[in-house]
């Protein structure tokens, strides 16, 4: 009788233990059901990569075929033989950016692969038409960009002798630039905007002071995108007027080197070098 009672108590104890275990297991599962495990911190991230498919930047034949004949002889348009261990930087902008591209490459040698778009850049209307082609489906570590000098360029004088309008009026320029920045933000980890350089009084097809108006419009756009850094090329050119060619918005070699050094330093600051 005693053995039977013990046996019954043992069976009850075992059954209760099983029930308690099941209840505890269910409770644990419910408490963790809504928990999301955080992804481990990524260390030693690889440089932002170019597209794995052939593009104008990765295939020399495609790059060469995208250039005009006169560009083939310009150092700024040399094909970049990239180091896959380095971050990729893209320079975008008009003819003045073509001038400082070689200096930027010299300053960033061993620190970054420095590419530039296969064009002189044109104005913001041209940029919007070609932006997807120039980005080449790639994700860039840094994009350094400027438009303005060709937007503010004046058309030919009218028969009445009135001051001709700008090629791209400032309101449209600001609207175009906003679209450009929004697109670039999706294609780069960091963006750097370069302000437009000075216009001397003797410059053809442009009016001194227009660059101030267009820079202010650009700054208002950039301020809406606080992550975008500023490279003040306007102040650099204003403080070194001897760098410009007489009667031109273009720069002498010394000026291009000075600009390239500042561009490179703005990129180094972003890269943390």
Give 251's DSSP letter: B
- How far apart are the C-alpha atoms of 54 and 1, rounded to whole Å? 88
The CA distance from 260 to 25, in Å, is 65
Residues 6+ apart with CB under 8 A from 188: 48, 90, 139, 140, 141, 142, 143
Q: How far lies 45's CA from each of 16, 37, 84, 148, in Å?
A: 53, 21, 13, 35
Per-residue pLDDT in tens (0 to 9) along the chain, 273 residues = 433 433 444 454 444 343 434 333 344 334 433 333 333 333 345 567 787 689 999 999 999 999 999 999 999 999 999 999 999 999 999 999 999 999 999 999 999 999 999 999 999 999 999 999 999 999 999 999 999 999 999 987 666 667 789 999 999 999 999 999 999 999 999 999 999 999 999 898 999 999 999 999 999 999 999 999 999 999 999 999 999 999 999 999 999 999 999 999 999 999 996
Phi first, then psi: give them for residue 20, nearest 5 degrees.
Answer: -65, -40
Helix (H, G, I), strand (E, B) or coil at 141: strand
Could you tell me the CATH superfamily of domain 60-271? SGNH hydrolase (3.40.50.1110)
Alpha-carbon distance of 263 to 2, in angstroms, equals 94
Provide the token pair at 49: 């990569």
How much is the pLDDT for 34?
A: 37
Neighbour order of strands in the sheet with 229-231? 113-116, 88-92, 140-145, 188-194, 229-231
Q: Cα torsion at 63, 186, 108, 113 (round to 10°)?
A: -40
Q: How confident is the model at residue 244, as a pLDDT?
A: 96
pTM for the whole thing?
Answer: 0.81
Beta bridge partners of 140: 188
The Cα 170–Cα 79 span in angstroms is: 35
**Beta strand spans in 117-175 (E):** 140-145
Q: DSSP code of 75?
A: G
Residues 181/191, Cβ–Cβ less than 8 Å: yes
Tokens at residue 160, please? 């009445």
What pLDDT sits at residue 137? 94
C-alpha–C-alpha distance, residues 15 and 6, integer Å: 14
Q: Which residue has the tokens 């590419």?
A: 115
Q: What's the rounded Cα separation, in Å, for the pair 131 and 186?
A: 12
For residue 78, the number of C-alpha atoms closer than 13 Å in the C-beta half-sphere is 13
Contact 127, 154 (CB under 8 A): no
pLDDT for 200 equals 94
E strands, 66-206, in order = 88-92, 113-116, 140-145, 188-194
Domain ranges of the chain: 60-271
pLDDT at 45 (0 to 100): 52
Among 196, 194, 82, 74, residue whose Cα is nearest residue 140: 82
């Amino acid at each position: 009788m005693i053995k039977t009672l013990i046996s019954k108590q043992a069976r009850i104890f075992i059954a209760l233990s099983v029930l308690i275990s099941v209840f505890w297991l269910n409770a644990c599962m419910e408490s963790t059901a809504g928990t999301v495990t955080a992804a481990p911190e990524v260390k030693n991230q690889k440089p932002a990569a170019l597209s794995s498919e052939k593009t104008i930047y990765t295939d020399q034949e495609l790059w060469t075929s995208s250039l005009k004949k006169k560009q083939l002889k310009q150092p700024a348009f040399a094909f970049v033989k990239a180091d896959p261990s380095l971050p990729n930087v893209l320079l975008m902008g008009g003819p003045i950016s073509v001038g400082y591209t070689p200096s930027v490459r010299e300053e960033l040698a061993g620190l970054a692969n420095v590419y530039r778009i296969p064009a002189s850049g044109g104005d913001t209307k041209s940029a919007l038409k070609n932006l997807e082609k120039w980005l080449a489906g790639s994700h860039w570590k840094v994009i350094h960009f400027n438009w303005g000098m060709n937007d503010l360029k004046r058309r030919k004088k009218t028969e009445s002798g009135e001051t001709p309008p700008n090629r791209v009026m400032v309101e449209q320029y600001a609207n175009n630039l906003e679209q450009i920045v929004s697109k670039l933000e999706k294609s780069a980890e960091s963006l750097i905007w370069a302000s437009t350089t000075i216009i001397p009084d003797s410059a053809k097809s442009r009016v001194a002071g227009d660059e101030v108006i267009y820079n202010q419009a650009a700054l208002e756009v950039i301020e809406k995108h606080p992550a975008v850094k500023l490279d003040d090329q306007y102040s650099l050119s204003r403080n070194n007027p001897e760098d410009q060619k007489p009667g031109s918005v273009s720069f002498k070699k010394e000026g291009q080197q000075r600009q390239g050094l500042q561009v490179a330093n703005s990129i180094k600051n972003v890269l943390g070098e």
